[in-house]
Structure 1
Amino acid sequence: MTMKTVVNPFDLSEIGSVPTAEWDEIDAFLTRAHELSEDRSAWMKAHERAAILHRAMEIMKERRDHLAFQIANEGGKPLIDARVEADRAINGMELCIHEIGALKGTEIPMGLTSAGDGRLAWTTREPIGPVVAVSAFNHPLNLIVHQVAPAVAVGCPVIVKPASDTPLSCFEFIDILHEAGLPKEWAKAVAPSRDASEKMVTDPRVAFFTFIGSAGVGWSLRSKLSPGTRCALEHGGVAPVIVDQTADLEAAVPSLAKGGFYHSGQVCVSVQRVFAHSSIVDELAGKLADAAKALKVGNAIEEDVECGPLIRPAEVDRVAQWVEEARDGGGTVLCGGERLSETTYAPTVLLNPPADATISRKEVFGPVVCVYSYDNVDDAIARANSLDVSFQAAVFTNDLNAAMHTYRNINASAVMVNDHTAFRTDWMPFTGLKTSGHGTGGIPYTCHEMTIEKMIVIKG
C-alpha cells in the first residue's frame, strides 16, 4: 500500500499520511453501494441512522480539541478559527439528525378537476442512491460534514475524496462514523489519482455528485457526468461590498477585516472588492489597512496567530504576482504587498487597483482586499455585477432605503446588511450563481437534494 504524505503548510513539515486508492478499490465500493441502494431490505432505518450520527457527534465532542488542532495543522487555519470550525462540524451533525425527522412528503390535491376525482395522492422521500463527494482544503472537517453526513442521514452510501492537501480530517471523520456503528460499506474516504478520481465521479452507478472547489474543475466534471447523475457544485466568487457615506466605519472596519483576512482570504465568499463612497473611501481604506497591519501572521497551530499560511507556496507566488500587476497598473498598496516567507503573504489592502487587473476580476483566495471609490451607487453596483461570478454580497449603511436598493439590484444569492460577505450559518441556503455554482448548499438543502420525491396515487 502506498501512502500520501501530508504536511503543515507553514513549515512544510510532515504531519501524517493517508493510504492512496486504486481504481479496483473504488470500483468495489461503488458496486456494493449500488447493490445497497437497489436492495431496499438493506436500507438502514431512520432511527438507526439517527443513532449513528448521534454517537458520532458525541465522539467528536470528546475529540473537539484534537480535531481543531488537526484542522489548523493540515490546513493552516488559525487555531482560534479552527476551534470554531470544529464546533460547527459538531453542530452540523445535530442538524443532520434533525433533518431525518424533517424528511417528509406532502399531500397532492387531486380534486381540482374532474380528472382527479376519486383519488388520493401524496409523496414520500427516498434516498437518491450512491453519492460521490469531492471536497476542498479550506474547511477540511466542516465541508466533509456538509457533504457526507447528509448522505448518511438520508440513507445514501457515500464515497468522499478530500482535497489532496488536507485529507487527515476527512479520513478521521469517516473512521468516527464507523466507530459510531456505520457499516464500512456505507461510507469510505479515498485519496485516488486524478484519473481514478474522474473515473469515480463519472461512473454510471453514481446517483449524486457533490463538489466543492474551483469553477474550472467543477464545471468540467459536470459536463462529463453520466446521464441521470444529479449534482451540486460550490465554487467561489469575488465578493463585493458597498459602503455608503452613512455607514458606521467603527463597526464596518473590523467586520470587513475579519471577512477579508479570515483564513488568509482562502474562503469562497471572502471580502475582496469593497466599493466605498468617495467621501469616506480614504478613511475607510486607511482604517482597514491599520487593522490589516495589526494581524499576526505565522504558523496556524500557535495560539496568537490570526493569519496562517497559504495552502501551498505556489499560491504565495500567484498572489504576489497579482498584487504586483495591480501596483504596476496604478493601484496603491496601503499595507502589505509582500511575501513574508515561502509560505506566507502579508495581509494587503489595495486602493483603486485597475478594473482590468486580474485581482479586480478573479477570486484571489489570498489575504488581499481591494477598495474602490465611487460617487454613484448604481455605478458601484454595476461594477460589482460585471463579473461572471455571483455568490454572497454585502452593504454597509444606516439608510434602510439604500440597503434595500442594493439588495434588489446587486447580483448575489445572499446580501448581508452591516455584516461581511463571509457570514454563514450551516442551516441557511448557500448558493453560487452564474459560474459560482449549481444547486444549493446548507445541510437541510443538501439532505433534500440527496433524496427523491416519490408519489403514490390511489384510486378508490
Structure 2
Amino acid sequence: MTSTALSVDIVPSFIRDAWWTPDQHTLSEDNSTEVRDASTGELLALVSTSGLDVADAVQYARTTGQAELGQFTFHQRALKLKALAQFLNGQRDHLYELSARTGATKVDSMVDIDGGIGVLFTFGSKGRRELPNSQVVIDGPAEVLSKDGSFVGEHIYTRIPGAAVQINAFNFPVWGMLEKLAPSFLAGVPTIVKPATPTGYLTAAVVKLIIESNILPAGSLQLISGPARDLLDHLDYRDLVSFTGSATTANKLKSHENVATGGVRFTSETDSLNAAILGEDAVPGTPEFDAFIKSLVTEMTVKAGQKCTSIRRTLVPKTLVNDVVAAARDRIEQRVTLGDPRAEGVTMGALASLGQLRDVRAAVESMIAAGGELAYGTLDSPRVTQADGTVDVVEDGAFMSPVLLTWENADAVELHTVEAFGPVASVVGYDDVAHAVRLAAMGEGSLVATVCTNDPSIARELVLGIAAHHGRVLLLNREDARSSTGHGSPVPHLVHGGPGRAGGGEELGGIRSVLHHMQRTALQGSPNMLTAVTGVWHAGADRNFDEEHPFRKNLATLRIGDAIRSDLRQVTLEDITAFANTTGDKFYAHTNEEAAAANPFFPGIVAHGYLLLSWGAGLFVEPAPGPVLANYGLENLRFITPVAAGDSIRVTLTAKRITPREDEEYGEVSWDAVLTNQDDEIVATYDVLTLVEK
C-alpha cells in the first residue's frame, strides 16, 4: 500500500496500531461502497469493513491506549498536540489535493484542514497555560467539613477509563476529527474515529500522516473506515460517544441499550435551523446591512452550504425582504462561480456526493410544496466550470446552484423543521423584535444565530430573547464586521453545540471540552490525604519548616508543604502615615481617626492592605540570588482582619503547587501566604506566584 489513500482500491482502517483492509476477494456490492469524485463522478476507492473486529479495537483502546496515555501529564500531552500541529502544517498541500476531490474549494479546504490544525495548536497552548502539569484537575476551592479543619472536601476531575468514539459527518473530514481528537487526547482518553463514507478517504489520509509522524503514543488513535453497525454493542459506562450528523441517526444511537441503560456517555451535534436576524436599524446603505448580506452569501456558498452552522433562516423586517433578496442575488452573481474546485476562479464547489444532491433537492421541493417560493436559483442541473475551464452541465457532478426561498407564512412548519443541507436559505419577514425572537425560537434549538444591529437596545432584547435556544450568538455590526470569524465558524475557545434539535451537546469551549472526557468526583478526607491525591497543598496539611529557606530550593529539591514562618513586625502610626503620603493613598481609614472609628469595619486608623502585603514580602523574601527568578503576581487576595497602629503581623508561606514547564529550564510555584497578627488572627490570605529554576 502506498502513502495516499487515493492510490489504493480500498480505504484502509487503522486498528491495533496496524493498517487493515478486508480481503479483496470477498468484497461485493453487498459489503462495500463506492466513493467517487464529487465533481466528476470518477471512482476513487471502495469502502468496506467486512471482517473487521470492532470489539478488538475497543479493547485495545481501553488497555494499550489508556496505559500509554496515562504515562503523560496534561502538559506533556499538550506538547504532543503542538508537535502534531506543526507536522501537519507542513503537509497541507498534499491534503488540499485530496480535499478538492470532495468538492471543496481552496477556501473550503482551508476551513477544514487549516481549521483542524488550528484546533491542535489552540489546545496545545491552552493545555499548558490552563491545566496543571499533572493528571488531576481540581474543580473549585476546598470545602471545610469539620470545625477543626481535619475533614475537608473538594471536587476533582480524572480521565474516563474507556475510549472516546467519534462518529463524524461527511462535511468536515479533517476538522471534524481533529476538533474532537484534541480535547480527548489532552484529557488522556484514546480515540476511535468513524468518519462518514463519502469523504472518509481524506480522514484516512490525515490519520496516515499522523501515524507516520510517530508523535502520538500507541493505542491513542484508531480509525474505522466504513460501517461499524455493532460499535455501540461493545461500549459501556467507561466510554464516550461523540456524534455529528442527522437527528434521525442520533436518536437511533441514543436509543441503543448501552446508551439508554448501560451508561455510555453520548453527546451529539445534529440538525440545526440556524437563524440570522437583521435589526430594524440595519437598513440598506448601513454597514450592518452590507455585513449581513456578505455573511448570508458566505454561509450559503462556503462548503456549498454543507455546514451544520450555515444560515438556514434569514429573519428580516418585513419591509426589507425584497431588499435582502435583491442584494443577496447581486452578490451571488458578482462573486460566486460554481464549478470544479481545481478550475481557476471557482469559488463554490460541488456537494459531497450525488446522494447528497438528491437529498438537498428533495428537501427544497418539500419546502416549496409547503409554501416556500423560489426567489433565486434553480433545482435543475446548472452549467458549471470544469477542471479544463470549459463551462457545461456535468451530469456525474454533484453541483447545485445557490437557492433563496421566501415565505408568505412565517409560521409554516416546514420552514422551521426542514433542513436542506446545501446552498439553500430562506428569507422571512418579521413584524417587530418580539416576533423575530419567536420565529428564531421555532427552530427548537440551534447551534448558532447572528444578530446584526448597531442598536444596543435591539441587540440586548434579541440576545436575551434567543440565547436559551442557541449554543452561540454572533453580534455583528460595523465594529467587528472585519475582525469577526463569522457566523459559521466555531472557534476552539468557545463551546460548539446547541440545545434541542441541535443535539443538546457541547464540543470545544477550551478546557471545558477536555473536562467532557473526564469524571468529576467529590473527594472527602483529611487535608494531608487530599494533598497526597491532588499534588496541591491544602490548608491544615503538614508543613515542613526546615532550616533551609524554601526560596533557596530549586524545583529538584523543593517539595509541596515546604514552608517558612516569619517573626512579628509591629505597625506604627508613623508607618501608616508615611505610606499614605508616599503613595497618595489617603483614604480616610488610614488618615482620619474620627472618620475611621465611625466606620463599622475599623477600630480607628488602620494600615493599608498594600502596606501589609509589601511588609509580608519583606518578611518572607530571601534577598540573595538563587533559584527564584521572579515574582509574577498574586491570586485570591482577601483582606480579613484590619491592622491598627500598635498591632504586629507575621507571614507563613507554604509551597502550594509546583508546575515545572516541560520545555523550559524553570517552572511556576504557587505559594500559600497567610498574614496573621499578634493574636494569630488571620489578617490576609493570598497566593504568591513565582518562577523558579529547575
Given candidates 15, 34, 38, the residue that maps to 1:9 is 38
Given candidates 42, 47, 65, the residue that maps to 2:93 is 65
C-alpha separation in 2, matches of 1:42 and 1:360 = 46
| Structure having the larger proportion of residues in helix | 1
C-alpha separation in 2, matches of 1:400 and 1:64 = 42
| Cα drift, residue 446 of structure 1 | 2.2
Given candidates 191, 208, 211, the residue that maps to 2:243 is 211
Aligned match of 2:402: 347
34 and 115 in structure 1: CA distance in 2 versus 1, 3 angstrom threshold: farther
| Cα drift, residue 143 of structure 1 | 0.8
C-alpha separation in 2, matches of 1:443 and 1:89 = 15
Structure 1 residues 110-121: aligned runs within 5 Å: 110-111=143-144, 114=146, 117-121=149-153
353 and 328 in structure 1: CA distance in 2 versus 1, 3 angstrom threshold: farther
The answer to whether structure 1 residue 412 and structure 2 residue 441 are counterparts is: no
C-alpha contact (below 8 Å) 1:325/1:357 kept by paired residues: no
C-alpha separation in 2, matches of 1:454 and 1:106 = 9
TM-score, normalised on structure 1? 0.90
401 and 358 in structure 1: CA distance in 2 versus 1, 3 angstrom threshold: same
Aligned match of 2:106: 79
452 and 115 in structure 1: CA distance in 2 versus 1, 3 angstrom threshold: farther
After superposition, the C-alpha distances for 1:98-146 in whole angstroms (9 at most, x for unaligned) are 34333331454332x5468313445543221311111011111011001
After superposition, the C-alpha distances for 1:406-448 in whole angstroms (9 at most, x for unaligned) are 1011222222122763242122111221121132111623211
SS of 2:219's equivalent in the other structure is: helix
Give the unaligned 5+ runs of structure 2: 1-21, 25-31, 132-136, 383-393, 528-694
The answer to whether structure 1 residue 392 and structure 2 residue 425 are counterparts is: no
After superposition, the C-alpha distances for 1:153-183 in whole angstroms (9 at most, x for unaligned) are 2211211100111112322332233233324
SS of 1:28's equivalent in the other structure is: helix
C-alpha separation in 1, matches of 2:293 and 2:308 = 20
Given candidates 414, 421, 425, the residue that maps to 2:487 is 421
The answer to whether structure 1 residue 195 and structure 2 residue 229 are counterparts is: yes
The answer to whether structure 1 residue 306 and structure 2 residue 347 are counterparts is: yes
After superposition, the C-alpha distances for 1:66-118 in whole angstroms (9 at most, x for unaligned) are 223322323x222222123222211111122234333331454332x546831
368 and 133 in structure 1: CA distance in 2 versus 1, 3 angstrom threshold: same
| Percent identity over paired residues | 22
| Structure having the larger proportion of residues in strand | 2
| Cα drift, residue 39 of structure 1 | 5.3
TM-score, normalised on structure 2? 0.61
40 and 188 in structure 1: CA distance in 2 versus 1, 3 angstrom threshold: closer
Aligned match of 2:195: 162
C-alpha separation in 1, matches of 2:88 and 2:192 = 20
C-alpha separation in 1, matches of 2:210 and 2:373 = 50
C-alpha separation in 1, matches of 2:205 and 2:224 = 12
Aligned match of 1:88: 115
263 and 150 in structure 1: CA distance in 2 versus 1, 3 angstrom threshold: same
364 and 206 in structure 1: CA distance in 2 versus 1, 3 angstrom threshold: farther
SS of 2:38's equivalent in the other structure is: coil
C-alpha contact (below 8 Å) 2:407/2:428 kept by paired residues: yes
The answer to whether structure 1 residue 152 and structure 2 residue 198 are counterparts is: no
C-alpha separation in 2, matches of 1:148 and 1:391 = 20
324 and 5 in structure 1: CA distance in 2 versus 1, 3 angstrom threshold: closer
| Cα drift, residue 240 of structure 1 | 1.4
Given candidates 444, 458, 462, the residue that maps to 1:402 is 458
C-alpha separation in 2, matches of 1:323 and 1:282 = 20
153 and 348 in structure 1: CA distance in 2 versus 1, 3 angstrom threshold: same
SS of 1:415's equivalent in the other structure is: strand
Given candidates 136, 150, 170, the residue that maps to 1:137 is 170
C-alpha separation in 2, matches of 1:214 and 1:446 = 22
Aligned match of 1:100: 127
Aligned match of 1:439: 505
C-alpha contact (below 8 Å) 1:70/1:169 kept by paired residues: yes
Give the unaligned 5+ runs of structure 1: none
221 and 192 in structure 1: CA distance in 2 versus 1, 3 angstrom threshold: same
Aligned match of 2:526: 459
After superposition, the C-alpha distances for 1:365-393 in whole angstroms (9 at most, x for unaligned) are 11111111222222232122123332211
Aligned match of 1:175: 208
Alpha-carbon RMSD across the aligned residues, in angstroms, is 2.7
SS of 1:317's equivalent in the other structure is: helix
C-alpha separation in 2, matches of 1:4 and 1:23 = 15
C-alpha contact (below 8 Å) 2:321/2:429 kept by paired residues: yes
C-alpha separation in 2, matches of 1:399 and 1:107 = 38
Between structure 1 and structure 2, the one with the greater Rg is 2
279 and 187 in structure 1: CA distance in 2 versus 1, 3 angstrom threshold: same
C-alpha contact (below 8 Å) 2:78/2:186 kept by paired residues: yes
Given candidates 323, 326, 338, the residue that maps to 1:297 is 338
C-alpha contact (below 8 Å) 2:180/2:507 kept by paired residues: no
283 and 163 in structure 1: CA distance in 2 versus 1, 3 angstrom threshold: same
C-alpha separation in 2, matches of 1:381 and 1:308 = 34
C-alpha separation in 2, matches of 1:344 and 1:38 = 44
372 and 107 in structure 1: CA distance in 2 versus 1, 3 angstrom threshold: closer
C-alpha separation in 2, matches of 1:260 and 1:67 = 24
SS of 1:12's equivalent in the other structure is: coil
- Segment of structure 1 superposing worse, 221-230 or 151-160: 221-230
User: Which structure's relative contact order is higher, taking Cα pairs within 8 Å and 6+ residues apart?
Assistant: 1
